[in-house]
Every structure is written in C-alpha cells, then in structure tokens.
Structure 1
C-alpha cells in the first residue's frame, strides 16, 4: 500500500473536480466551517504550494493559532483563479510533504474529507476508493488524528461500515457507509443522517458540543 501514490492521485482528482465547476458552484458554502468550495480548494493548494514566508507571517498575525492562520492562508490562496488552483494541485501532486504528527495518512484524509466537503453540498458522487477510505478510517480512530478528531469523539463507541469489512471500538454502535463514517468522525454533522445505531445520538451530542 503506497499512501503517497494515493495522495498524488487524490490531488489530481481534486484538480479535475475544480476544473469542472462553475462560478456559482465554486461560491457554494462547503461543509467545512465558513469556507466556500473555492476556499477549500485554496486550503489544499496552500498545503503543498504555499509560501513559507506568507504562512509564517499569517501565523504571527493570528497569534500563533495554527487553525486561524490556516484559514487565512486558504482564503488568501483562493483569490487566485480556479484554473490556477487546479494547475497548482497537478503540479504539486507528487509532493512528498509529510505533515507533522498526522503524517501521510493525515494528508490523505484531508484530501478525502475536503473532497466530500465540496461534493456533498453540490450533490456530486464521491467515487472514493475503498482502500483509501480504510486508511482514513484507521487514522481517524487510531488516536493520532490531531486536528481531525479528538480522542473523546470515538471513545466508547463501536464503528462499523456497511460497504467495507471494517470495524473499530466497543460500545454503542455507529454504522453506515465508509464515507459517512469517515465524515462523522471528522466532525461533519451532515453525515449523521446517513448513519444508524444506538451510538449515533451520542456522537451527535459530541459534535454539537464541539461546534
């Protein structure tokens, strides 16, 4: 299993998606906070093609709050034309950058989750690969998904996927398609409607408390 190749392919697929969108679609609110579809694309570009100098300046201006700095960087990067964002994703598709702590599984998960942050509001099919979903599910339930999933979110729950032979944890059940389980673990309440089991209400309460 070569996670770097998975990441490169997801970047190229994301670039193809951005190229296919209209101006109205690019301006649509995504599932990721207050970001538009285009700003989500800007975030993914800034991860591999952003300026270190600009990133450091924004980090200082944000009081060294990483998430706030990342949000500013995404918004700044998204000011470029959509075609340029797509071109940069393709140009840097094979960038081997390894994020601190979360590593390459975190990078792959970032791409898959943000892809759904875009596709779900636009009503587009996800076409996610089962082997890549498995990597992200293992990552999100493995206790090292800093910035994605606090350890308290999956604690005491059992997660099962209906389209993959995958399950983790013990406790009240949360069950559904792998894509929906991944999004719920990553804090997207929109995916809860696609899940069932006694643990869904517990998970919903945790997501609400974290909002």
Structure 2
C-alpha cells in the first residue's frame, strides 16, 4: 500500500490554492456577518481515519457541526464547527436576535449555520474547480443529528486503508473588535489527494501564478 508522498513545495501550493478559495469565501461570509472575517489554512495533515474521528468527536459535545460533502472528480467533505459563543454572536449579528441563550438551535439559527457553511464550502469548491480544472461541486450542507462519525463513514470507509488528507482552517470572525474562532475541517480521501498532486505536478510553476486565476 503506497503512502502518498508530498513535498514541502506541493504542500505550500495546496495551501495557497485553498487560501485563494478561502479569501473569496471570507468576503461572502463578511457580507452576512457585517464585519471582518479572516479565513486561512494554517495546517495540512495526513492523518489516520481513527485520529480524524477522534479529532471530530472532541468537538461534538461543545459545537454544532455542519457537514458538506464535496463530490464529482474529488471525494471529500467540509465540517464547520460552531461553538455556543459563535452561534450567539452570529444570531445577534446576522439574525438581529437579542439576548440569545445558548442551547437547542432554533430553525432560523440552524438555517443560518447551513447557509454560512454553504457559502464557505461553495466559494472554496468553485475556486478549487477553477484552479485545478476539475469538475467538482459541494452538496447541500446538513446538520448530522446522529454521531458525526456515522455521517463521515461514507467518505472514509470507501477507502478504509487510505489516510484522508485533512486541512484545518481556523476562521476568525471579528465583530465590534471581539474575535471568535470558527474551526473548519476540510478533508479529502487519498485518491483525491493523489489526483490533486498529479494536477499540481503538471503546473509550470515559473509561468503559472496561482493568484492570476479568476
């Protein structure tokens, strides 16, 4: 079983591609949040499936989790993890709700989180598709009601021997100079990861300035 190998340069290129997508997503999110939003990819990890599930389980009791699957030429998903504090802040800013109490999500709050996830995943997938010339789309986001590991099995179990590639994105959402962190996990299965590497390896890096893509 071959482990995917990735050089430092390739890692940086993938990070740069994702950062371009996230910059677009941040602008769209900022319009809803009516404030500055900063999105960047601080880390790229190749991790074992069980480590990934452990990582996600850690957030499960304290965060509302929204999942969007990435389909088409690539197979993956994004998970956005909203803390109570974040939900309160977003509800006040975007929905004009006052004195929001943390706890069970209202239908409006859940719709808002789904919409934010949709915007961010959509913007990222569109940019990835443009830069990598791939046919990919995000499926409508959902808020898994059951154990998140069950909802991720589709992606992970199809290739149980493969390590998924996990990108952790920390979103900073600033409102009235208070900053809230919003973790976003983006992951692809190894087959997708190898496809992305193949595409990157065909780039003529001297001429191909990623920033020039529309």
* TM-score under structure 1 length normalisation: 0.32
Task: Considering Cα pairs closer than 8 Å and 6+ residues apart, tell me whether 1 or 2 has the greater RCO.
Answer: 2
Structure with the higher helix share, 1 or 2: 1
* TM-score under structure 2 length normalisation: 0.32
Structure with the higher strand share, 1 or 2: 2
